[in-house]
Structure 1
Amino acid sequence: MSAAQHTRFASPVTLLRDWSERSDQQALHEALFLGFTVDLPFLEKVAIPVARGLGARTAVIGDAAQGLYDPVDVRMAGRSYLHGLASPFRFEWLSWGDGGGLVRSAPGR
């Protein structure tokens, strides 16, 4: 089992691009985005397509009271990725399956 080690904060998009540039070309199986204020329109336009393009099943979990989106702007939730709401939590992580590694992601984007 291997785990990715990052010594700096990075956006989910940067981490996904780093994954795609791995020399071993290992498939990405899962991508889990957790956050206090989840920007679903941003994730739908930028991060989720990259994760799905790498072959990942994708889920986004956010704080039920802190959504920063209009439901009209969110078209892929429940169809292209799993969206869930929870409360309360105050951290942000991006996790994906290369044997269970967990990587800290920067707050916000």
Structure 2
Amino acid sequence: MFNFSINERTIDINEIDELIGEINLIDIREPHEFKCGTLRTAKNIPMDTLLNNPDKYLDKDKKYYIMCRAGRRSAITCRELKYKGFDVVDVTSGMAFYEGNERA
């Protein structure tokens, strides 16, 4: 039997504070969710927008950290982007569980 799974990399949202400012952080929530609060330096590109045209927004030579509200959308998005050849890290849990000091 063949195994076609793609190696998934993750980081919990509460372990990301020390990386803020040094990573490419993408918040894939909808704009109205993003306006309610995000992490400093996060760029808002909604999930559907990003998945429909990733080459427009991402560079395959860079690593991106993908976050959402609770972790479900970021997991789906990371799986799709990895399949398409992008270097992504799933920020698990999401903003709903963030307890750090880097809110924007």
TM-score of the two chains, using structure 1 as the length reference = 0.33
